[in-house]
Amino acid sequence: MNGSAETAAVPSTGWASFGARLQAAVAAHGPLCAGIDPHPGLLAAWGLPETAAGLETFSMRCVEAFGGRVALVKPQSAFFERYGSAGIAVLERTLAGLRDAGTLSLLDAKRGDIGSTMEGYAQAYLSDDSPVRADALTTSPYLGYEALRPVLDVAWATGRGVFVLTLTSNPEGRTVQHAVLDGRSVAACVVDGVRADNARPAPAPAGLSGAPGAPGGPEDEHTATLSQTPGWGSIGMVVGATVGDAIDRLGLDLAGANAPLLAPGLGAQGATGQDVRRTFGPAVTRVLAASSRDVLSAGPAVSSLQARAVEVAERLRDTLRP
């Protein structure tokens, strides 16, 4: 797929909601979220040192390979943080490179806290003036869904997104996510919160670069129509591709939440495209399959990474879309 022409058709400015931009990116590039997971084993497999310099080489190759060709790219924050300030500097450059390529980024940091601490995370990762800002952030709701409110509100105000851990594949998650209180599972309560937040009308913040009416704001017919057309909400959910019948068993109305669904577990973790269709049922058209090892194993050559990402995205489009 030719990424450059199609990337130009996807608004990357803040005034279009994250959900609208993500929906357009998936339509252009297929339902793949490609991970940037520079863990020690992959650095070694690519012949790179386990240093900040090796981290930067790895990450910049991923940016070059995925930029303009993948709907969503997900750097894993932990693998940058382990190198201290030098690693965070590489993360800043990685996110900036994806912005320059017009490609949406999802920072996988799984933040979850309360009060001013959560406000700090919101400003760090989703505010317009942060050097480590991403288009979206993964969060953990297990101090209570409403504890995420500072992040949800900053995302709403800036046209960014949030992905909330909802039903994960790890066995330990069941003790919390499957637990029932007053007849509702914890996972179902998270879905309720996401549904309510996605019912909020997306704002077009005054003064944002690229906002309608702002200096230099786009006025072409495609982007104007996209900003006004109801589509995917900007609050997504993380639901494992290998959760089996848990979605039905816990009574989760994923389709009704109007949420993009990030589904880890395809490929190296054992789930197939057909498994995803069975697991997600009517919500499968909102699924983005998260793939890290399957795509990254094609490295270190940029051309090989690029070819694998496009191949996986097209295969997913054929399998997951009607």
Catalogue the active-site residues: 110
DSSP letter string, 111-136: E---HHHHHHHHHHHHSTT-TT--SE
Q: Would you call 290 helix, strand, or coil by DSSP?
A: strand
Within 97-179, strands assigned E span: 104-111, 136-139, 161-167
Nearest to 320 by CA among 268, 253, 254, 275: 275
CA distance 91 to 59: 8
Q: Would you call 114 helix, strand, or coil by DSSP?
A: coil
CA distance 210 to 32: 26
CA distance 77 to 81: 6
Output phi, psi for 151, to 5 deg. Answer: -70, -45
Q: Would you call 33 helix, strand, or coil by DSSP?
A: strand
CA distance 15 to 103: 16
Query: Residues 286, 91, 311, 276: is their CA dihedral positive or negative?
Result: negative
Q: Distances from the Cα of 25 to the Cαs of 10, 33, 151, 204, 236, in angstroms?
A: 6, 11, 23, 20, 15
